[in-house]
Amino acid sequence: MAETIIPRGLTKRYQDWLSHRRGKGTSLELNQRRIFIFPSAAGLAFIGVAILLFLLGTNYQNNLVMALGFLLTSVFVVTILHTYFNLSGLKVSAVRSNPCFVGEEAGFELRLDACRGRSHENIRLSWPQGGTALVSLKGQSYQFCTLNYPAQQRGVLRPGPLRIESRFPLGILVAWSWLGIDQGTVVYPQPLACGALPDSADSEGDGQAGMRQGNDDFAGLQPYQPGMSPRRIDWKTYARGQGLQAKQYVANQSTHVWLDFSLWPGTDLETLLSRLTYWALRLNQEQTPFGLKLPQCRIAPSLGQNHLDAVLRALAVCGVGTDEA
């Protein structure tokens, strides 16, 4: 309906103008170009009472009622300045963001710096679909706050313009601004537990192999212990008077696991990524080196938090772009 009443070109011009006014960056300062101010619902009622008092005083020639009407008007005008200066000069900066999994809430930490020699009270920060925070800077040069935003799908999450407003001191006026704070985070696929890892996830024999007891290759001698098979006794060393020695054999064993698309054929993309996420977390917890093979990247087997973060990030942006957070 709004598109039929307001021309599309005019709407685009307004959006461009608004985007230019609110700016974009990791740190923005509120000034007269970015602050809007308008009476609140209580403010409109306040104006109505002032006008009514003025009309009654004029009609009945009552100077006391007229003086009260002028007083309310003066309070309203002075409140405009106080409400504006409560936001003016405030600087908002992006600090850090916390990655999360689908279904959780991503945390975005912001820093608010007060204008020198000024206090800022009852500052409300919010996103249209996210949480809100109420901050006051009384005698403080800066303060940190954290806003949460629901993560509904994997990939790079950018909450969009941040709304900051104040109704201080009387609540009859609301001053607000939209800030294009450039801040984002990564939303990992939701872990999905499944059965045992398929055998095809074993090492490809690329040289990173360990050793275990087996019957493949001769690995040396060890003192004979009761219970060992007599076939393993090295009779030549016994004949030389070196005592009973048993032959030791080893077999190659994979020491790492590969996670890739071929593990669960016929599974849809989101389910597959969720299963890979689950196994990445589990293998990391079990201290088992693992690697990841995706159509657009390959991560060599390793361990550690940095390796896990790289794997989870690759799973998060698989097929949805690689916009940096």
Query: For the residues 70-80, what does the mean pLDDT come to?
Result: 93
pLDDT at position 321 over 80:
no
pLDDT at position 185 over 60:
yes
Name the percent of the chain lying above pLDDT 70.
80
Per-residue confidence (pLDDT) for residue 2, from 0 to 100: 43
- Which of 26-40, 170-184, 198-212 comes out lowest in average pLDDT? 198-212
Per-residue confidence (pLDDT) for residue 213, from 0 to 100: 43
Query: For the residues 7-34, what does the mean pLDDT come to?
Result: 72
Per-residue confidence (pLDDT) for residue 84, from 0 to 100: 92
Neighbouring C-beta atoms of residue 6, cutoff 10 Å: 11
pLDDT at position 228 over 50:
yes
Per-residue confidence (pLDDT) for residue 238, from 0 to 100: 72
Q: Is the preceding peptide bond at 223 cis, omega within 30 degrees of 0?
A: no
Contact status, residue 39 vs residue 167, Cβ threshold 8 Å: no
Continuous segment of H or E residues that includes residue 112: strand 105-113
Task: Identify the band that residue 318 occupies on the pLDDT scale cut at 50, 70 and 90.
Answer: confident
Task: Identify the band that residue 268 occupies on the pLDDT scale cut at 50, 70 and 90.
Answer: confident
Instruction: Report pTM.
Output: 0.69
Judged by DSSP in three states, 81 sits in: helix
Digit-coded pLDDT (tens) for 156-175: 999 888 999 999 999 999 99
- Which of 117-121, 157-161, 248-252, 308-312 comes out lowest in average pLDDT? 248-252
- Rounded to whole angstroms, the Cα distance separating 110 from 87 reads 16
Query: For the residues 120-130, what does the mean pLDDT come to?
Result: 88
* Residues ≥6 apart with Cβ < 8 Å to 103: 151, 152, 190
Neighbouring C-beta atoms of residue 162, cutoff 10 Å: 23
pLDDT at position 258 over 80:
yes
Per-residue confidence (pLDDT) for residue 21, from 0 to 100: 64
- Rounded to whole angstroms, the Cα distance separating 185 from 70 reads 52
Name the percent of the chain lying above pLDDT 90.
32
pLDDT at position 8 over 90:
no
Per-residue confidence (pLDDT) for residue 200, from 0 to 100: 57
pLDDT at position 195 over 80:
no
Per-residue confidence (pLDDT) for residue 323, from 0 to 100: 58
* Residues ≥6 apart with Cβ < 8 Å to 85: 118
